[in-house]
Amino acid sequence: MSDERKTKMELLKRKSRRANLVKELHFMNLTEEPFLDIEDNDLFCKNVFSFLNTCENKIQLQGDSYKEHIQKSIQLLNETIDTIEITPNQGRLLFFRENEIEAVLVNVDEVFSHLNKVIELTKFSVGYGDFILVSEDFNFGLCIERTEYFYEFS
């Protein structure tokens, strides 16, 4: 198969995975096109992780097992959401998938009101992905990153 055909095939597969993700998010009101172009998506995700590397004052969450890490993280996330006074209308929620990370445009309040479902869909609840919700201008964000021995909240 030629390189051009492989590239086109990969693009079609990614579009299909994106369509499936939209179906999984049926409980949320998504914009007509909640995804960035693939190159822009990859750049946005790189910028998110670069920004996270510069963040200071991260809170370490540690438990006796990864399940306890997750439980403590969700508890802190809920407590933080309850204390947030001003949120942007929209932000990008990162979904970690086998082949890529998708930054989906979502209504921030809907993420908060459907947090348990969102945590399942992001696969954070099973220890697979990080929980990252960030505004496009990086003025707002909630992140719980997994590390080898603990989780970090920023």
In tens, the pLDDT along 116-154 reads: 999 999 888 888 888 999 999 999 999 988 877 787 888
Q: Kindly report the pTM of this predicted structure.
A: 0.90
The total of other beta-carbon atoms located within 10 Å of residue 152's CB is: 17
As a whole number of Å, the CA-based R_g of the chain is 16
User: Which residue range is the domain that position 141 belongs to?
Assistant: 3-153
Query: Domain total for the chain?
Result: 1
Q: 68-120 pLDDT, tens per residue? A: 888 888 888 888 888 988 889 999 999 998 889 999 999 999 999 999 999 99
